[in-house]
Structure 1
Amino acid sequence: MCHKSLFLVALLIVSGYAASDEDYEFVCPKDDGEYEDPFQCDKYYVCDEGRVKQKLCPDGLVFNPHSKLVNKCDQIFNVDCKDRKELQKPKPIGACPRRNGFFPHYDPSICNVFFNCIDGRELEMNCVAGLHFNEKTGTCAWPDTAGRENCGSNANKKLLDGFQCPEKFEKMDKTGQIIVHPNYPHPEDCTKFYICLNGVEPRLGVCGEGLVYNEDTQRCDTAENSPGCEDWFSQDGKPEN
């Protein structure tokens, strides 16, 4: 090796140069198999008879080298990426910051609602009473375990029609248990009702076609079973347009 080459090698060592993802060229350790990229957690390599092909997991999923499944792309909370810190550029759509995964509600004050995103299609899900969505595990947990902040900070928020969740009011069911997400009837329209998430965050609910809100059962029901709304769909019961 010439003196110039030795000087360059020494300079790289002194400067702390380390190989980057762009410099990396994967070599199959075995002729067949799937192997993780050392830099990027959602990138992996497929070796087929010694020929290597680079692949990416769907946006939001990462490669799990320990998975026994044929498809080794997994939820990020199931995988310890360690030094594989890099991820592909997000492809957000709707309420999904990435195309796949479990994500908290876009309103940080709503901690009991989260989204399950599958190929960019969002499914809104609710934790059972008293639990919050835990971003680290993708599951519902007790508030002290989930460690979410500012939950319910939108207390006393009003809807456009002026509805506001009652302040410091605990609604009970027929067994005497506190209703965590109580419902309230709309004052003018039997087909509508209000939902107070965690008792403080108001939402407008609408019953399906042919149904009205039944205050006694706290759900949508037929008109004949709903006191005060029995004649809603009769000519006299319909609201004027």
Structure 2
Amino acid sequence: MRSLFLIGLIVGLTTSATPPNFKCPENNGFFGDPKQCDKYYECQDNVPEEKLCPDGLLFEIKNPNHERCDLPFNVDCGERTELQPAVSTVQCPRKNGYFSHEDPQVCDKFYNCVDGVPNSVPCPSGLIYDDYQGTCTWPESAQRQGCEKENRKKEKLADGFSCPDGEVLGNNNRPLPHPTYPHPEDCQKFYICRNGIQPQLGSCPPGTVYSESNLKCEDPEGVPGCEKWFDDDKN
């Protein structure tokens, strides 16, 4: 995903037609500005030409033979703390980069901004977006305030089901990562809570029903209340 984002954004923009007050460390190459992390210079025959990375990207100084602007979490600016003025919108604080959703409670979506155009991207189930890593990760790894599992907005299925709070213990007395719950009206159906938060409707194989006590699909004879589920031709 990151490599696709960078296509067309590697090369910076020339900002000065006259030689700036910068001394080339070598006769030829690309060198970072000592103060501004998104500014750099192209030196040809010891003559520098000032350039800027596209807004939101920073200049990578590791290899003077390559002109590379990259995403902030891939660049160590060190003491180069200054940046060009931002060109921002609600979804894109800068024209390019990955940014969290404008609603602080929407933790599992982020924007991939390309030249000021936001593209909404969902995180995989159970993960949240982390600004510092620039990727989706587990909530406990991100430590993003307000995005703890108990504070996140609950998703609901069409029938109104949402994942209950609290952990569900398995037969080994350990919390289940994807707990299941019985359907209130259909013995063959059940709910799955992916990573404890994302609801999904499941169904047992033909001829079996969901057992709340054993947390799995079993023969109807062993599940109280569902012994005759298939006798009445309900399905």
**TM value normalised by structure 2:** 0.57
Matching residue of 1:6 = none
- Alignment counterpart, residue 178 of structure 1, candidates 190, 193, 209: 193
Q: CA deviation at 1:93?
A: 2.5
Equivalent residue for 2:33, pick from 20, 37, 46? 37
Matched, 1:123 2:119: yes
Cα distance between partner residues in 1 of 2:88 and 2:161: 32
Task: List structure 1 runs of 4+ shifted beyond 4 angstroms.
Answer: 67-70, 152-157, 164-167, 169-176, 179-184
What 5-or-longer segments of structure 2 have no aligned partner?
A: 1-19, 166-178, 184-188, 202-235
Which residue is equivalent to 2:94?
A: 98
Other-structure match for 2:139: 143
Give the distance between the partners of 2:161 and 2:142, measured in 1 at CA: 25
Determine if contact 1:94/1:122 at 8 Å carries over to the other structure.
no
Q: What one-letter code is carried by the residue in structure 2 that aligns with 1:89?
A: P
> What is the aligned partner in structure 1 of residue 109 from structure 2?
113
Distance in 1 separating the partners of 2:49 and 2:146 = 46
Is the Cα contact below 8 Å between 1:99 and 1:117 reproduced in 2?
yes
In the alignment of these two chains, the number of paired residues is 157
Q: 1:85: how far off?
A: 0.7
Distance 1:156 1:127, change over 3 A: closer
SS of corresponding position for 1:178: strand
1:86 partner letter: E
**1:76 CA drift (Å):** 0.5
Q: CA deviation at 1:111?
A: 1.1
Deviation of 1:110 after TM superposition, in Å, equals 1.1
% of aligned pairs identical?
39
> For the Cα contact (< 8 Å) 2:105–2:153, is it kept in 1?
no
Higher relative contact order (CA 8 A, sep 6+): 2
Structure 1's unaligned 5+ residue stretches are 1-23, 158-163, 185-241
What is the distance in 2 between the residues matched to 1:68 and 1:112?
38
Residues 30 and 66, structure 2, Cα contact 8 Å, conserved in 1: no
Alpha carbons of 1:136 and 1:154: their partners in 2 closer, same or farther (altered >3 Å)?
closer
CA 1:156–1:130 in structure 2 vs 1: closer, same or farther (change >3 Å)? closer
Is the alpha carbon distance of 1:181 and 1:67 closer, same or farther for their aligned partners in structure 2, counting shifts above 3 Å? farther
Q: C-alpha displacement at 1:181, in angstroms?
A: 4.2
Contact 1:156 1:165 in 2 (8 A): no
Work out whether residues 191 and 200 of structure 2, in 8 Å CA contact, stay in contact via their aligned partners in 1. Answer: no
Could you tell me whether the CA contact under 8 Å between 2:41 and 2:48 is conserved in 1?
Answer: yes
1:1-241 alignment to 2 at 5 Å?
25-66=21-62, 70-151=66-147, 153=151, 155=153, 168=164, 177-179=192-194, 180-182=197-199
1:171/1:182 contact within 8 Å kept: no
